[in-house]
Structure 1
Amino acid sequence: MLWNLFPSEVKIAVGDPRARKPTGYPDEETHVANAVTSRRSEFFAGRECARKAMRDLGFQPTAIGVRPDRSPIWPNGLIGTISHSRTLCLAAVALQNDDALSIGLDIEPDSPLPEDMWDTICTSNERSWLAGLPSDQRTRQALRMFTAKESAYKAQYPLTQEFLEFEDLEIAFYGHDFSAVFQRSVPSFAKGTKLRGRQVIYHGHVVSAVCVGSDQFNKGAVS
């Protein structure tokens, strides 16, 4: 299922943060030198997955640094995304081209999202949609919405450098597919632009993925 989340040219690798002692490249160590063990384990497991995906693309593994905004620093010509929980980490890497300008991936443990968080995460249309569902489905569908927004945010950020609020994207589901629609214009994306994504359940996690292509990218759009 994971390998259908992105176009075939995007390589995905899977890891477990609990599998080994957390270690990484010296250039990476500085970013988590004072972090607790669980945070170090997740950080390095994610980068280990990213390097495996890089090897699958034919690239030599290298250190993956951290920008001031905490996003990964990818080698020239590559795009990538990392997400992790305490028990699972995923990374996706690809050559940047017109079909894949940027990618975003998010994983969350498949558990109910408390209703007191919905006002923060959901637009009024999304809350209305949730209210129309059977009561036993609402909290898990709200989680699906949350992780879809997170993956869309990660996909747009490298192209816009824009910090979005949850209400700036509106999600609609179509089976395993979803759209994330911009509710306001930001650099390179006009209001109403739809980012396309896919979502699956994998090892007790909801996994969401978005790939932005040149057909969705408008350099003339401004906030």
Structure 2
Amino acid sequence: MHTTPALPACCTALDSHWPLPTVLADTVLLSTRFDPTRLLGDDFQRSAVPAPPSIQRSVAKRQAEFLAGRICARAALQQLEGLNIVPPIGEDRAPVWPAHICGSITHSTGRAAAIVANKQHWRGLGMDLENLLSHERAERLAGEILTPAEMQRMAAGSQEQLALRVTLTFSVKESLFKALYPIVQQRFYFEHAEVLEWTAAGQVRLRLLTDLSSEWRNGSELEAQFAVQDGQLLSLVSIQA
């Protein structure tokens, strides 16, 4: 029986509330809120979370978000299968999960979350949390994040939704990368996928615009979902086994 180390003062109690429109069976999703100003020098030690050298050298904000994300991941693995594992950072900077597990960790200002599943049920999970962009910033970044077809659809849509659309497109493409990269082992970028449509209820349809493997080819379509809460957008791409 593993005893769970105490939560550091910078993190709130873990929350198992499902924040997205469609609950995924056979997954565990946990989140926490964190405050970098409450991070103490020995929090990694007391939480039994190893701090990689890159994290030890970083500022309090980066340390707190890493710690919060790893605490969520460990607790999710424990809840899923009784595993007492903190996923280390791989050479590609992504978390290294046990071979039979897929998962994703995300964080943005003051909030972190992790989702895990056994690969018997889900082949890929990618989750991303973003602060909603301001209208001005969204206008500036649109050309870097959106494909020409997405830019056209944005121009034809409501100007009031421009910031949401750009934030959503950025986030679901990040989630898509996190879900697919472990499967295809090939990097791809914003221009290699497009959002075909999305609904206010939080459903999204994506399409690949490049060949990533013999299975994941140009034109392959995937589903995503998202929710907006407290000025932040959470998105999730899930690939069934």
Q: Same fold (TM over 0.5)?
A: yes
1:189 aligns with 2:211: no
Name the counterpart of 1:118.
142
Secondary structure of 2:78's partner? helix
Of 87, 91, 110 in structure 1, the residue corresponding to residue 110 of structure 2 is: 87
Moved more, 124-133 or 111-120: 111-120
Quote the residue 1:105 is aligned against.
127
In the alignment, the residues of structure 2 paired with residue 163 and residue 180 of structure 1 have an alpha-carbon distance, to the nearest angstrom, of 17
Most deviating of 51-60 and 127-136: 51-60
Residue 239 of structure 2 corresponds to 212
> Deviation at 1:30?
3.3
CA contact (8 A) 1:28 1:65 kept: no
Give CA-to-partner distance per residue, 1:85-136, whole Å, 9 cap, x none.
Answer: 1211110011112x41010000001233421211111111100111011222
More displaced stretch, 52-61 vs 82-91: 52-61
CA RMSD of aligned residues (A): 1.9
Code of the aligned partner of 2:131: P
- Aligned pair count reads 213
Alpha-carbon shift at residue 58 of structure 1 (Å): 2.9
Equivalent residue number for residue 11 of structure 1: 28
Write the letter of the residue equivalent to 2:176: A
- Structure 1 residue runs of 5 or longer lacking an equivalent are 215-223
The CA distance in 2 between the partners of 1:207 and 1:3, in whole Å, is: 8
Contact persistence 1:31–1:66 (CA under 8 A): no
Residues in 2 aligned to 1:25 and 1:73: alpha-carbon distance in whole angstroms: 17
Output the CA distance in 1 between the equivalents of 2:133 and 2:212: 32
Tell me whether 170-179 or 42-51 shows the greater mean CA deviation: 170-179
Q: Paired residue for 1:43?
A: 66
Partner of 1:219: none
Normalised by the length of structure 1, the TM-score is: 0.88
- Tell whether 2:220 aligns with 1:198: no
Q: CA deviation at 1:165?
A: 1.6
- TM-score w.r.t. structure 2 length? 0.82
The SS at the match of 1:72 is coil
> Which position in structure 1 is the counterpart of 2:4?
none
Q: Distance in 1 between matches of 2:237 and 2:115?
A: 11
Alpha-carbon distance between aligned partners in 1 of 2:183 and 2:167, rounded to the nearest angstrom: 26
What are structure 2's unaligned runs of at least 5 residues?
A: 1-17
Call closer, same or farther: CA 1:91–1:101 in 2, change over 3 Å.
same
d(CA) in 2 for partners of 1:200, 1:145: 13
